[in-house]
Structure formats: structure tokens, C-alpha cells
Amino acid sequence: MSEEAIRVEGVSYAYGDVKAVDDISFSVAQGEVLGFLGPNGAGKSTTIKLLTGQMRPQTGDIAILGMNVAKDRDAIQGRIGVCFEEKNLYLNLSAKENLRFFARLFGIRDFDPTPLLQRVGLADRADDRVKGYSKGMQQRLMVARCLLNNPDILFLDEPTDGLDPVSSQAIRRVIEEEAARGAAILLTTHDMDEADKLSDRVAFINDGTIAALDTPENLKLAHGQRSVRVRTRANGEIRERVVPLDASDTGDQLKAVVGAEGLLTIHTEEATLEAVFITLTGRGLQE
Amino acid sequence: MVGVHALHLLRKDLGVGPRSPIFLYAIALPVILTLLIRVVFGSLFDPAPRLGIVDEGDSQIVRNARDIDGVQVKFPESAAILKQMVENNDLDAGLVLPSGFDGALQAGQMPNVQFFFGGQSLASNRVVLGVTMIDLIREVAGSPAPIEVETVTVGDGESVPLVSRLLPLIVLMAVLIAGALTPATSLVEEKEKRTLTALLVTPTRLGDVLLGKGALGFILAMATGTVTLALNGALGTNTAALLLVLVLATLMAAEVGLMLGSFAKDTKALYTIWKSGAIVLLAPVIFFIWPNLPQWIAKVFPTYYFLSPLFDIAIHGAGLADVWVELAIGFAICAVFLLGVAALGRRMEATLAAA
């Protein structure tokens, strides 16, 4: 990770009196995956629209690949790939026709869609109309479409939302491959586990502001609570107890629990990003 | 480059077109409408009476027959072929003139002729051909007609047959469905299915999209408009002038389509607007169908400015010099509509981004 692919400084945007994005600043380096986490209405989609040139910021500056998003929209859009949450493919076209059409819009001549379709596991259905595809297949084609110009930056909006495990896994693999290739990736997701595994850093966005931005590990260490969950049986009754690992008397508590009769199970529990998010914002991601 | 992206969009839309019901409807409608009107009012399937003549001598009747208006005359090689053609309904009637027929006629004799009528020929054609034949023979015999016919026109002598007065309606329907409704539907579908958003995060601009959709409407409307004029036998009068009028008509229709497509948020809204607002576009045809209505009212509606030149050229045989004022006003309206397309396009882009 070296050069900055995305730099956002003091950007705000309001719909009338409602502030959707309020003075946010962050950057994403090439080859970095930034997880953008927040509940519905937090400002994630507005941020992506601002970054991809669909809307102009009312205040602040956005630099994409060193270019101003308001002035160099054409050049920027030729070097980014956007995968939307909503499926927006041409259903009456085949996968091949969809990809060929968009390739022409990027000025790519003699485009061969087969390698890309193989990569997302759709080569055997390449000539079928997309209207016959399952949700997962359509989403994989959406991902393939956003890769066809070998983008320097990928904007992925809930790419695995509601998908079957096979499709989700295929998309996660592509994200890892693209990051390894050097593409900067802005990933919005509700799936905390996915964000934890895929993201180099995560940003928590809430009410249009960034509540926290760091690596998942640092966030969990700084704001999460590690614990041990112990189950015991006493007088025929199963009891469960959680012992925090960071308390001053953790050792004594653990000794007492482990020494007691009827010990059934003992599990360490790490802090989750969701718990950290709730700690920081006072609300859950699904709200 | 605006043109290149618009071209890619046009190519895609033309490729997808045959899979779209509205596209097929736009192509089929003018043909169906023309055929329907022609079946109801006649003429398309009613060719002029067909007369065959075999001359076994050198009759003046043959030479005179060549100059008859409104009757198709053919000259088979033999009486046998003639008879066969009549039997096959390739001719409505056949006349065999024996050698020396003119001389016998002029000598006051009553020479025999064979006159065949086809069993499948229309009664009206038999009457027309029978009278025509008697007239031709009388002319060669040099005998005056036993009666003098005075033609008296009853009703409006300047009136145009109803079938001709329906021409603006057919052309307007063809041009509006193909030129306006097709691009409007296509644009609204792009919005509904969010593919427009996908297009606008590529190097494609909204101007490309509007140009591509407008070109789709223009090309389709020019094709259906030309076919409609040809089917109605209107293209032969002043082809270049009619095609120029058609350019104006399709341009205006495409702009209307782009405005509708930009304004309507979804297909349901589009068809609601279309059903309630189409009267503004269709109204002028009423004044062509019923010419006794105050004609100045028609001039309030924008489509009048291509329908009137079209009617004058196709039906009255006018030239561009006769209709240039209407054409100029029509192109001025198109310029104003272009501003409307730009304004509504910007509004649509802002609405999409905020959605």
C-alpha cells in the first residue's frame, strides 16, 4: 500500500435540511480495502455517489487518483469500477452482451468476456439471457462488469448481501485478488464478519459522520471487550457465566470458575466489530 | 466523445429492440392501421379494371385503348392466352378483334367480337370495361353518342376523399409511436431498472444517453413514416419535400419522447401522461378529418406544423415554396423543445442521484 487512490477532505452533503454526509475525511491507499460500515441512512450511499461523480460535494474536496472528481469526471470514471447494491443489468441481454456493451462504453475494443466470466463462474451460462439468472449469478455478473476496465479503484456496495455461500465466496475471492493486484477498494457491507476478514481498515459511519476509522484489530482492542464464557452444571441446573479478560480480578474469577465442580465448557470470546460499533455509536448496524 | 457513446447505446437499443413489445408495436402499427383503413375504405385491394385486347388485324381501337385513364390495358399474344388470363382472373375482361374489324365497322356492318368477362371480376369493373369498350368502338365507327352527358358535382367540389383525409392520422400515429413512445419507454426502463445509473458511472454522459435514445426514435420514426407514406401512395408526389417534412416530424416526436422519458419516474407514470396528454399531439388530425371545423384552432398544436405541410404536399401536390412558413415554425418549435429536453434531462440526473 503506498499511493493514495482516494482522498476525501471535509466533505459534506445535505438533502435540503437533512445532512447526509457531514464533514467527513478519510483516504484509501492503492491495494487497500476500506470497509465502510454503517446502518441504513448513515451516509454510505451518498458518500459513494460523491466519490463516483454522481453527485458533487457541497463543501470539501475529493481527489480520486490525484484528480478532482468534479473537474475530471470523465477521466476518473474510466478508471473506476462500481458495483451497485441493486441489480442493474440488462436482463434481455446475455452476460456476454452485457459485458461487451459496457466494454465499448469504456472504449475497450475487441473485448473477450470469457476470461472475466470464468473468473466469476459464469462461463457456462455466458450466452443465456440474464433474466434467467439467479440473484447470486446476477450479482457475480455485476462484479464482473465492474472489473472489465481493470479499475484502479473499486466501489463495492453490499456485494454479497443476501447471496448464497458459493456466490459470496466467489465475490470475496475476487475482492482479495483485486486488492492483491493493487486496486483500492471501498467496500460497504452489513456483514461484520466479512468486513473483518476482508478489510485492511474499517470506517464506522453514523449520522453522516465517521465515528471511527482504524484496522479491525485496533478497533476491537481499543473499544471491544474480551471475555471467557463458562458453562457449569450444579444441582442438575446448567449455568453460564461471562468473565471479562481485561478486568483487574480476571485471574481470581477464572480460578474460581475453573476450580468449581461441574465444569462443562469454557470458550474465549473476542470482541466483534458489531459490538465495537454499538459501543461507539450507541446503535446497531441493522437499525 | 458524445457521438461514440450515443452510437454504442443506439446499437444496443436496436439490438434489444426486437425483444421489446413496444418496439415491435411501433413497427407494426402503421402497417396494420394502413391496411385496416384501406380495407374499410377500399382502393388498396381494388386495382383499376384490367382489360386485355387481342388484335388479329390492325385496329385503331388498340391505339386508342393505350390512352385510356383508369384502366389497365394488356395485349396478350393470342385469343387463347387472353381467354386463359381472364379465366385465371389475371384480367377482368378480354376483347378479341377480328381482322378487318375497323373496315367492317366503318362500312356500317355489325361485325362479331368476342368479349370475355372473368367470373371473379368485380361487378363495378365489368360495368366500367363494358362501357369503355362500347365507347372505343363508337369512336372508331365515327358515330356520335346518342346522348350528351353533363357532369354536375353535388356537394363540396374541393373536398378531399375521407381516405385521404385520414393520411395525417396514420402518419402521426406512426411517427409518434415510433419516434416518441419508443425512446420514452426505453429511457424510463433504464431508470426503473437502474441501468441508467450504471451507464452514468462509466465515461458515458447523460447527453450521450439522450442522444442515443433520440436517435433510436428518429430512425424508427423515419422508417415507419416512410413506409406509411409509401403504403398510402403518398411518396410519389414530391418525395424530397415529403421526406423533409418527415424529418421535422420525427425530430419533434423524438424530442417529445425524450421529454416524456426524462419527466416520467416510471412506466406507469409514462403511460398515464401519454394517455392524458396525447390529445395535445393528436388534436390537429381532427381538423383534417373534418375540414369544416375552424382551422385556426389546429394551429395551436405543435404537430400541426408538420401535418399541414405533409397534407398539402401529399394530397394537394404543393411544393416546399408553399409550405415553408409552417416548416420554419415547426423547426423553431423543435429548437424550443431541445431546451426542454436539456432542462428535464438535468432534472432527471439530479433526481436519480438523490434517489
Q: Min CA distance, B210 vs chain A (Å)?
A: 15
CB < 8 Å to B354, chain A: 15, 55
- Alpha-carbon gap: B269 to the closest alpha carbon of chain A (Å): 21
| pLDDT tens track for B132-185 | 888 888 888 887 767 766 766 565 656 677 778 888 999 999 999 999 999 999
Q: Do A105 and B354 touch (CB under 8 A)?
A: no
Which B residues 180-219 touch A at CB under 8 Å?
193-195, 197-205
ipTM of this complex prediction, to 2 decimal places: 0.84
Model confidence, pTM: 0.78
Residues B77-102: what's their mean pLDDT? 89
> Tens digits of per-residue pLDDT, A131-175?
999 999 999 999 999 999 999 999 999 888 888 888 888 889 999
User: How many whole angstroms separate alpha carbon B287 and alpha carbon A28?
Assistant: 66
pLDDT tens digits for range A182-208:
999 999 988 888 888 899 999 999 889
Confidence (pLDDT) at B45: 47
pLDDT band, residue A125 (cuts 50/70/90): very high
B336 pLDDT higher than 50? yes
Which residues, numbered 221 to 240 in chain A, qualify as contacts with chain B under a Cβ-Cβ cut-off of 8 Å?
Answer: none
CB contact under 8 A, B193 and A15: no
Distance CA A35, CA A216 (A): 9
Give yes or no for a contact between A34 and A185, defined as CB atoms under 8 angstroms apart: yes
Q: How far apart are CA B187 and CA A33, in angstroms?
A: 35
Q: Which of B75, B80, B68 is nearest to B134 (CA)?
A: B68
User: pLDDT tens across B249-265, in order?
Assistant: 999 999 999 999 999 99
SS (H, E, C) chain B: CHHHHHHHHHHHHHHHHHHCHHHHHHHHHHHHHHHHHHHHHCCCCCCCCEEEEEECCCCHHHHHHCCCCCCEEECCCCHHHHHHHHHCCCCCEEEEECCCHHHHHHCCCCCCCEEEECCCCCHHHHHHHHHHHHHHHHHHHCCCCCCCCCCCCCCCCCCCCHHHHCHHHHHHHHHHHHHHHHHHHHHHHHHHCCHHHHHHCCCCCHHHHHHHHHHHHHHHHHHHHHHHHHHCCCCCCCHHHHHHHHHHHHHHHHHHHHHHHHHCCCHHHHHHHHHHHHHHHHCHHHHHHCCCCCHHHHHHCCCHHHHHHHHHHHHHCCCHHHHHHHHHHHHHHHHHHHHHHHHHHHHHHHHHHHC
B20 touches chain A (CB under 8 A): yes
Give the closest-approach CA distance of A80 to chain B in angstroms: 8
